[in-house]
Amino acid sequence: MAKQVVTTVCFVLFHCIISYWAFMSSCSIHSSTKIIIPDIARYFGTKGRYEEVNAYLIDDILAINNSLVTLPSSKCSEIHLTVIIRHGTRYPTIKNIQKMREFHDLVVREATGNLNCLSEIKSQWKMWYTDDMDGRLVDQGREDHRHLAQRLIKWFPSLLTEENVRQGRVKLITSSKHRCVNSTIAFREGLMKGLRSEAKLELAVNDALMRYFDQCERFVKEVENNKSALEEVKRFHEGPEMKRVMEKMADRLEVPYASITDDSVEAGFFLCAYEFAIQKLNSPWCQLFDEVDAQVMEYAGDLKQYWKRSYGHEINSKSSCILFHDLFHRLDQVVAEITKNSDAIVSEAVTVQVGHAETLLPLLTLLDLFKDDIPLSSTNFATQHNRIFRSGNIVPYAANLLVVLYKCPEGIRMGVRLNEKSLTLPGLTDPVPMYEDVKTRYSTLLKGCDQETVCKINS
């Protein structure tokens, strides 16, 4: 008896020591026992983790949270789902890898400050990003899509079925970019695993739909290839808030102010964001920014998205007319099938389209979502503190727009979710409105918004 107590005490004690040791070592950047989230992670914008917008996924990546979703009455049943998804977590592009390398070199060569993180960067951190990584999907990005597919099976168990896959009622469409193709392949893996299916499911590449922005001549000329279209972004980079971030950085590194440019602070911020998104590390780079610095960096990123992909210029959203019409055309077809025969099996139950942040943002803008009363500009950082246009909330990695049709006794209803949270379309009060009311709301776009007309340049 006594021996048993002693054994138990020893065991408990041993356990405590082990737990304590595990806790302590988790503070080291090399441990994977517990992930420490950088304090500034919510400011990473388009380089942010999906888990930052849905924190319940941190404990269980396959969880779904019903309290975030509004459903129509239980007399309704789901008849169709369209999902438009951004690719998963990726490596930096070559341009940013080069900026990161330059900043790392500068820190190693010139920084004399005595912050802990500086000695860590100098003695332990290796510049492991290489040019050939250029925007490629990372393992985490594959996981993002596998898991999303598995959650969608839980969300829509009557639509994402083995039967629907086998009968060709589930379609996969992707942008031709390797990160999107590989995301779609990972999505398919998640789907097949979740459904225990061995059916064949091909993916179709369609850049006219998923990279419409390349093919809209007016957008390319007036925004993409036009420096003055992003004048506000440039002004903010030269403005007092950014200057302060640069000075604080120079003070921390103890280098001359002239050594630090907007590119340097951007590179440092990206290093923190990428090390976290790709490797789950709270890297020493993150210590070079306080919260206000991170808010300024976030605003610089949001300004760019705003002027290049969103409300800044009308052509940004109009360039997505082709994707808008593709969506409503499909929904109309589903409604027509059901109207003809209310017991019909819908021929396209689920459509999955994989693209970019640049695919999603203009479409959300066309729908009038996330529109602040006052435009984002180079001079209103302070008053835009509570803006709704936050790219980190809207288009993190694996961001997804879900459009659901329901068959109800009173007719067809439509629900919209962004990142697995219900949205009420602006101008409508019902979170799951009648489909006809949605069409009335967007009637101007449905009658016009013709890609040919919108994108053509009359010379």
Ligand X SMILES: *[C@@H]1O[C@H](CO)[C@@H](O)[C@H](O)[C@H]1NC(C)=O
Residues that bind ligand X (CB under 6 A): 56, 65, 67-68, 178, 181-182, 221-222, 226, 228-229
CB of 38 to ligand X, least distance (A): 21
| Cβ proximity to ligand X, 2 vs 457, nearer residue | 457
Tell me the Ramachandran region of residue 368: left when phi exceeds 0, alpha when psi lies from -120 to 50, beta otherwise: left
Token digits of residue 395: 């288009």
CA distance 401 to 395: 10
| Cβ proximity to ligand X, 186 vs 412, nearer residue | 186
CB of 88 to ligand X, least distance (A): 12
| Cβ proximity to ligand X, 81 vs 229, nearer residue | 229
Residue 313 among the catalytic residues: no
CB of 316 to ligand X, least distance (A): 11
| Cβ proximity to ligand X, 80 vs 90, nearer residue | 90
Task: Please report, as a single letter, which amino acid is at residue 215.
Answer: Q
Closest CA to 419 of 391, 389, 390, 396: 396
Candidate list 80, 87, 104, 237, residue with the active-site label: 87
Task: Please report, as a single letter, which amino acid is at residue 154.
Answer: K
CB of 306 to ligand X, least distance (A): 13
In terms of C-beta distances under 8 Å and separation of at least 24 residues, what long-range contacts does 410-414 make, across chains too? 410/434, 411/435, 411/436, 412/79, 412/335, 412/338, 412/436, 413/72, 413/76, 414/331, 414/438
Judge residue 373's burial from the number of C-beta atoms within 10 Å of its C-beta, 0-12 exposed, 13-18 middle, 19 or more buried.
Answer: exposed
| Cβ proximity to ligand X, 36 vs 181, nearer residue | 181
Separation in Å, CA 270 to CA 79, 86, 298, 386, 416 = 42, 19, 11, 23, 32
Shortest Cβ contact with ligand X: which residue? Answer: 56
Pairing of strands 421-423, 411-418: antiparallel
Q: Any idea what DSSP says for residue 171?
A: E
| Cβ proximity to ligand X, 60 vs 198, nearer residue | 60
| Cβ proximity to ligand X, 50 vs 125, nearer residue | 50
Contact 359, 207 (CB under 8 A): no
CB of 421 to ligand X, least distance (A): 8
Q: Any idea what DSSP says for residue 250?
A: H
Judge residue 29's burial from the number of C-beta atoms within 10 Å of its C-beta, 0-12 exposed, 13-18 middle, 19 or more buried.
Answer: middle
CB of 146 to ligand X, least distance (A): 12
CA distance 160 to 153: 5
CB of 237 to ligand X, least distance (A): 17
CA distance 152 to 195: 11
User: CA 436 from chain center: how many Å?
Assistant: 30
Radius of gyration of the chain (CA): 24
- Residues with active-site annotation: 87
